Structure 1
Amino acid sequence: MPEISKKGILTPESPIRKLVPYAEAAKKNGVHIYHLNIGQPDIKTPQVALDAVKNNNVEILSYSTSNGSEAYRQKLADYYDDNEIDINKDNIIVTTGASEALLFTIACITDPHDEIIIPEPFYANYNSFAIAEGVNVVPITSTIEENFALPKISDFEKVITSKTKAILICNPGNPTGVVYSKQDIHQLKELALKYDLFLIADEVYREFVYDGKEHYSILSESGMEQHAIMIDSISKRYSMCGARIGCIVSKNKDFLFTIMKMAQSRLSPPTYAQIAAEAALDTPKKYFTEVVSEYTQRRNILVEALHKIDGVTVFTPQGAFYCIVQLPVDDTDIFAQWMLEKFSDNNETLMVAPASGFYTTENIGKKQIRIAYVLNQKDLIRSVEILKLALEKYQQEN
């Protein structure tokens, strides 16, 4: 029998999706599930984007250019200029989602057995992308006790080797909701320059920042032209996850030339999705004002309710729409599956993402879950009620 590759075997299951079979079985038994496991916003996609697809006069659905349509890239450049990020359309390559952007980036800056440093917990697919390219992730742990703050720069320096090619951050953070300050970004810039590393920033949650904090892009730092790579996407910004349109932004011409070869090998990003994405950039700014206000309220309701459960610890997220919650259980993988298989209250239960999948260091995060507060406020309140009841019953049985 032919063998599966080692990297295929090593690729982990998604902590966000691996419990789907248990959820589907529960649904077939008539149980209603509140999905706190996945960052699929319930916010409506801007009508201007939907109308652009419905009302277009395309007669031949042809390829776009491999780097994305010029019109869309120009509108993206204008959008970034509004966010005090000085780039032009030639600094942008459009990709099929941020996932492809990350895969292309890792492939273009590393060789097998090279290393990328990532503060953990981090978006689980970063590890999958690294494994796909034969690259080693070197984690530096941030903790809930320290509000998932950026680890000390000295901790980064301790793990830099001749194999280190990049530092990868998510800002605002998935799964933590942490927002790195201008000072944090400046420190990482100095580190990247000192050791001649790429600094990659996944900035897809840029708009979702709370409590008066401001997002600061790595591309706003001077002197980073050869080192900074920004990953972006419309998925969360405009609630367009299914469009699968992302981009890579950099001023490093050699890097972009290399990325372009990969972009050519997959031909082009999807045409209809680019039409929708281009139109989405015309969304009025009040859209984000309303969305940020809604997420702030949801966050506050969620965190306040979680604080009332004995033994639960939660960091109040500063951005994105996720939070890490520490529970009074030994293994949240087992607990999350138990909630789907064996627990319900009034025929309702929860689906959460066990946080161990967001760490690569063994035996860390086993007591934590990630919650995506993408449900309406009423459903969030009910979800925490269910979690409280589930914890009580689980502790009685175990």
Structure 2
Amino acid sequence: MPSISKKGLEMPESPIRKLVPFAEQAKKDGAKVIHLNIGQPDIKTPKIALDAVKNNTLTVLEYSRTEGSEVYREKLADYYAKHHINITAQDILVTTGGSEALSFTMGSIADNNDEIIIPEPFYANYNGFATAMGIKVVPVVSRIDDNFALPPIEEFEKLITARTKAILICNPGNPTGYLYSRDEIQKLAVIVKKHNLFLIADEVYREFTYDGKEHYSILQESGLDENAIMIDSVSKRYSMCGARIGCLVSKNKEVIKTALKFAQARLSPPTYAQIASEAALETPQSYFDDVKKEYVSRRNLLIEELEKIDGIKIGHPQGAFYCIAELPIEDSDDFAQWLLEEFRVEGETVMVAPAAGFYASEGLGKNQIRIAYVLDKDSLRKAVHILKEALKIYKGR
């Protein structure tokens, strides 16, 4: 029998999606499943974006430019200028989602067995992108007891080797909701310049910061033009996850030139999705104000309800729409599967994302779950009640 590649065998399963078959079976068995496992907002996509696709007059659905529509990239540059990020359309490469931007970035800056340092827990697919590119993820641990703040710079320096190519952060963070401060970004800027590394920032949640805090982009930091690579996406900003439009942004011309070669190999990003994304840039600020207010309300309710459960420890998100909860159990993978297979409260159960898949260090996160508070408050309240009742029974198994 022909053999599967070593890379393919090492490719990690998604902790967010691997339990889908159990959820689907639960639904077939008549249960209602409340999805806390995936960051698919229930917020409505801006009408202006949907109308742009519905009402366009295209007669031929052509390839777009490899780097993305010039008009769209120019409008993106204007959008970033409003956020104190001064770039040009030539600094932007439009991609098929932020995922492709991350893959192109890793492929452009690192070779087989090179290393990228990432504070963990981190977005689980970073592991997958790195595996696909033959890159080693070197984790530096951030802890729930510190609310997942940036680890001390000395911890980063201990991990830097001749094969280290970059430090990668998600700001605000998935799965923690942690928001890096200007001071933390500046500390990272010092270390990447000192060691001649790239600083990659996944900033897809930039609009969603809370409690009066503001997002500080790595592209706002002076003197970092050759080191900084920003990843962005329309998925969460406009509740357009299915559009699959993102971008890679850097003032480093060699990075853009190299990433463009990867982009040429996949031809072009999707045309209709770019039309929607371009139109979405006209979304009024009131949309984001309302969305932020809703997420703050959901976050506060979720934390308040979770804190009523004995033995739970919770990270307090400052941005994005996720939190990590540490449960009084040993194996959250088993707990999550048991919820779907066996546990019901009045015909309902909950799907969560086991957090071990958001770590690269073996054994960490085994008693943690990630919760996405992308559902209405009634659903969140009901979901926490189900978790509370489930823990009473599960701990006694």
The 5 Å alignment of 1:1-398 reads 1-396=1-396, 398=397
For 2:80, give the aligned amino acid. Y
Deviation at 1:389, TM superposition (A): 0.3
Measure how far apart 1:36 and its partner are.
0.1
SS at match of 1:168: strand
Offset from partner CA, 1:325-376 (integer Å, 9 cap, x none): 0000010000000000010000000000000000010111001000000000
The amino acid across from 2:331 in the alignment is: D
Shift of 1:111: 0.5
Cα distance in 1 between the residues matched to 2:204 and 2:61? 28
Separation of aligned partners in 2, 1:290 and 1:167: 34
Aligned equivalents of 1:250 and 1:44: distance in 2? 31
TM-fit CA distance, 1:265: 1.0
Amino acid at match of 2:48: V
**1:28-72: CA deviation from partner (whole Å, max 9, x where unpaired):** 000000000000000000000000000000111101110000110
Calculate the TM-score normalised by the size of structure 2.
1.00
4+ residue runs of structure 1 moved beyond 3 angstroms?
Answer: none
Question: CA offsets per residue over residues 157-191 of structure 1, 9 Å max, x none?
Answer: 00000000000000000000000000000000000
Q: Does the residue aligned with 1:381 lie in a helix, a strand or coil? A: helix
Q: C-alpha distance in 1, partners of 2:395/2:270?
A: 49
- Give the share of equivalent positions with the same residue, in percent: 65
Structure 2 distance, partners of 1:344, 1:194, is 55
In 2, Cα distance between the equivalents of 1:91 and 1:317?
31
Q: What amino acid is the match of 2:308?
A: K
How far the C-alpha of 1:316 sits from its partner, in A, is: 1.2
Please give the secondary structure, in 2, of the residue aligned with 1:387: helix
Q: Secondary structure at the match of 2:168?
A: strand
Instruction: Output the CA distance in 2 between the equivalents of 1:368 and 1:25.
Output: 24
Q: What amino acid is the match of 2:195?
A: Y
CA distance in 1, matches of 2:306, 2:57: 50
Q: Deviations over 1:73-117 (max 9, x none)?
A: 011000000000010111000000000000010001000000000
CA distance in 2, matches of 1:299, 1:389: 21
Local SS of the residue matching 2:248: strand
Q: Which amino acid is the alignment partner of residue 46 of structure 1?
A: P
Q: For residues 216-267 of structure 1, give each alpha carbon's deviation from its aligned partner in whole angstroms, at most 9, with x where no partner exists.
A: 0000001111100000000000000000000000000111111111111111
Q: Which runs of 5+ in 1 are unaligned?
A: none
Letter in 2 for 1:389: E
Q: In structure 2, what is the Cα distance between the partners aligned to 1:206 and 1:57?
A: 33
- Counterparts of 1:5 and 1:23 in 2: how far apart (Å)? 30
Report deviation, 1:215. Answer: 0.3
User: Aligned AA for 2:154?
Assistant: S
- For 2:395 and 2:68, locate their aligned partners in 1 and report how far apart those are by CA, in whole Å: 53
**Paired residue total:** 397
Tell me the distance in 1 between the aligned counterparts of 2:295 and 2:246: 23
Task: Tell me how far apart the structure 1 counterparts of residues 122 and 100 of structure 2 sit (CA, whole Å).
Answer: 17
CA distance in 1, matches of 2:262, 2:212: 40
CA distance in 1, matches of 2:117, 2:207: 25
Quick one: distance in 1 between partners of 2:245 and 2:233? Answer: 6
Pairwise CA distance, 1:395: 1.4
CA deviations on 1:282-317 (whole Å, 9 max, x unpaired) are 000000000000000000000000000000110110
| Distance in structure 1 (CA, Å) of the matches to 2:137 and 2:394 | 35
| Alpha-carbon distance, 1:393 to partner | 1.1
CA RMSD of aligned residues (A): 0.4
